[in-house]
Every structure is written in structure tokens, then in C-alpha cells.
Structure 1
Amino acid sequence: MEIPPRPTLFDFHGVPMTRYFTDNWENVQKFKARPDDIVLASYPKAGNTWVSYILDLLYCRQTLPEQQDSVPLFQRVPFLELYVPGFLNGVDGANQLTGFPRIIKTHLPVQFLPQSFWEQNAKIVYVARNAKDSVVSYFHFDRMNKVQPEPGDWSSFLRRFTEGEMVFGSWYEHVTGWWEKKQTRSNILYLFYEDLSEDFDRELNRLCSFLGVSPSADSKKHVTEKVLFNNMKQNKMVNGSTNEAFDFNVSAFIRKGNVGDWKNHFTVKQDEEFNEDYKRKMKNTDLHFRTIL
């Protein structure tokens, strides 16, 4: 189908958004959660697809194994607030899921999550990635994703990122908002992309413990193998190759996935300025990130 022109940002209740995430807002907010739902939340480009696939494998290998090779991951784990005319929207996609639990993805800041998820005490997995790798990944994603705003060049994109002029708003407000919420809610697990990269087995065990699942050693091995970066990159059900909005001539959807790629993009001056700004914005939180392993 034909992809419409790229959208523009506008202020939506204090957060920059595009219409692809606000046009179905009433239905998003009225979404009826279930107690056994699992929400996967993150700022864009923080490892959401990676953890989506981990969760999908943990559950769907038992319940819906036939979907692994025939149904794209973005249909198995619907993107709640996404609303692109001509495609199945996230709310309808979530409501049509037949397996249990439903795994639902979102990039919403904590204050926008539909109330029913809190009322039902659904489990929420938040995955966070350091700001420098996040902005690099976001830049390449916006270059290849035709339903995102025009990214411009790297230096202007970096400036907009530091100013919070991105779809889903400020990285700083997103990661700290969810971190603060976690302090008072036992139903939130806060994962770090860097920890997953450094010691996958340890973080998989943390995730399983939080979810209350006890996969066999064989199942864990299966998950670990399937979610290796190169395996995901070649898996047509996971790598975004079925998504018509993506231009793979510009960039891959699953691009590099490593920690520290920011060093290939930031100039020395950009790095110094970014660090100063970062210190100022993160001085009132005990949330800490690693930018190298």
C-alpha cells in the first residue's frame, strides 16, 4: 500500500507526538487490560524488539509454536498506540490476540499508560538504553522509517534529541519517569540494554523470576539462541522486512545492536556538550547508565 507523506511533530499534552500515535487516543486510553497481560515499555530504539522476542519465545513456544515462522513479531506483540490507516491498529491487534498472556508493546511515557494496566496490576517490563546509543539508533531508524518525521542531518537530530523534540518526547523524562514509578510499584521490572548485552543469562533469569515462569534448561537455550543478534537480523518474522514503511536501502531495522556505537557518530565537541547537558538533566536521579562495556 502507498505510504502517506512523513508526519510532523506537534505538542500533545506536553509531549511531542505524531498523529500515528494519537489518532486512536480515546481507544488507547479505554483499553481493557487483563491481570495476566504483560506490557513491554521503552523509549524508542532501546531494545524493545529484542525483549519482545524474548517474551514471545518464553510463552508462545508452548502455546502458539506455529506462529513463530508465519506471523511477524509486530503482529504477535502489537504496538498499542500505533495507528496507521490501512494497517491493523495496535488496540485492535491486542484485542484480537488469542494466546495468554497477551504481550503488548508501548513507547508511551509513564503518565500516558492506560489506567486499566495499573488497575489490573498487569506486569510491566521496562527496558532502558543509554542516551548516546539511543540517539544514534533513533537517527538511523528515522532515516529508514517513512512514518517517522524527517530526521535531517546527524547534528540537527542530536540537537533535537537533547531538546526532547522527538516522537514520544524527551529520553530523559521517559527513562526517569518510569524509574520513579518503579520505586512504588512491584509490578514493574526495569531492565537495562547494557546488562542484557553483558550477561544475557543473568538478565533472562531475572526476567523469568519476575514473570513467575520456570522454563527448562532446553527452553532457555532455545530462547538464547533465537535472540542472538545475527539470528534476529536474518529472521524475516523479526527483522522488519515485512513492514512496508521501512526502506532497507537506507538502513537495516536491526542494524548493529552493540553498546558503544555512539563513538562512531559523536564528534569530540558533540560528546563534551552532550555530557554537560546530560549531567545537568540527570543530577536529581539515582538512575545510572553505562555507555561502554
Structure 2
Amino acid sequence: MKSTRENLGNIVYSCYSQLSRQGEHFVSDHVLSYQIAGDLTFNDGINDYSATDGSIRFLRRNQLLKFTKIPPANGDFKSLSIYLDQQILKDFSLEYGLTCEKKQLSQPLLLINENVLFKNFMESLLVYQLSDQLSDKRLVELKIKELLILLLQYDPELKNILFDFNEPGKINIEAFMNKNYHFNVNLDRFAYLTGRSLATFKRDFEKVFNATPGKWLLQKRLQEAHYLLEKGKMASDIYMDLGFEDLSHFSFVFKKQYGLSPSKILS
């Protein structure tokens, strides 16, 4: 599979020639991405969100997403992403006197449609990327400042997302895990997103589920796999969606649990 991922610090250019199901992704920083070509589908554990070529999307930090990159017919999937890390935002906040005034609840992503200013901004980045000008950190810093100003002009309330530097608060662990068990991320990610240290997460988890996180996650994923296989799904189509890293490992633990290989489960 031909693929290119050009990392220019806070700006990343991606190019894929074949369908790429990259599974789980912990979004640690806010990201603004321009879909140059192809389609991208996100899933936050409940809903699907689609981004087609030409679209611009803003993803908020501290969330779990699955995503699938779909190249156009006879072409490559291409995107350009700008990562807004916490230090950049803190510096901007101090320079311009901007603060978060209230907790802003939002969807996992915001689609910015048919906006000439953002489109021109992204096209200017592409020109710089193609001419190798984005290797100049000074230029990157200026372009990120420009982007933040555009975002705040587009929606002033975004300051309550961009400049909220608080870490996730303690939330209901049972509801969170039942929504997100199929994300294949380390336990420390689950702990962080539920507002706990890893040790506290493990202790609270066992109080709620009467099992260790590792054992519960495996059982929960296998139960869902069994249900989907009975509905006629193929093992190769579901193992990644349920948080298993590879098909062979999924088949092994499934047979160990149920005494049959996934292919023997009939609808």
C-alpha cells in the first residue's frame, strides 16, 4: 500500500492510495483538517460522521474516535491537518487575553462548510507544503496564529473549547466503558478520560464490574463478536471494530472462549 505521511511539526500531510482502516485514535490535541481528496468516516462509539473531499473539520481534543480513509476512484486519499497543542493555545491565550468563560459541551467534530476564508487558508498551506516552505518554523507559527484568528471570527464561542485547559473530570466509569469498550487503547487512556489515575481507575473499575479491566474488556468484546457473527457478519469485518489488533489473535481467543472458530458460528 502506497502511503505518505509528511510530518512538519504541527502540520501533517497524508496521502493513501488504498482504503485505510486505522482503527482507534485518541485525539490528544484539537485538530483542524482539510479533506483534499477522498472520504473520511469517523465513529465516536455511537454516531458516524462523514467528511467528503473539500470539507474542513475541527476535532476537539480528549476523545476517542475510529476512522476510515477512503480514496476516490483511481486516486489517492489526501488530507492536510493542523494540530493545536496546549502550549500553542496557552501562548496565544496570554498574548491576546483570551480565556475560557464556561464549559462548552460540543460534538466530537465541527464541519466548516463552504467558507471561502478557510478554503483559501488551507490552499495557501498546500502551496507552502508543495514548495517545502513549511520547514520554516517561523512561518508555521504565523500560519497557526492566522488559523486561530479565523476560527474565533467564525465562531467566537470556540474560545470556550480552545482555551479550556482543564483535564477531564471524574465521570461515571460504567457508562463510559459500556460506550467505549471497543476502542483499542491503553488502560491509561481510559483512566485519563474518566478523570482518574491508572491505580484509581483499576480500583473503581473492579468495584463496578467485579472484574479486572483486561478480563472485562476481553469478555465484552467477545460477546459482541459472537452476537455479530450470529447475525451473519464476517470475522474479518468486525475484529478491528471490536478492539482486536489482528485477526489471528481474535480467532484464537474466540475459539478459546466458545470452543469454535469464528467461521463456525452460523447465522
TM-score by length of 2: 0.24
- Look at both structures and tell me which one has the larger radius of gyration over its CA atoms: 2
Q: Which has the higher contact order (CA 8 A, sep 6+)?
A: 1
TM-score by length of 1: 0.23
Structure with the higher fraction of residues in strand conformation: 2
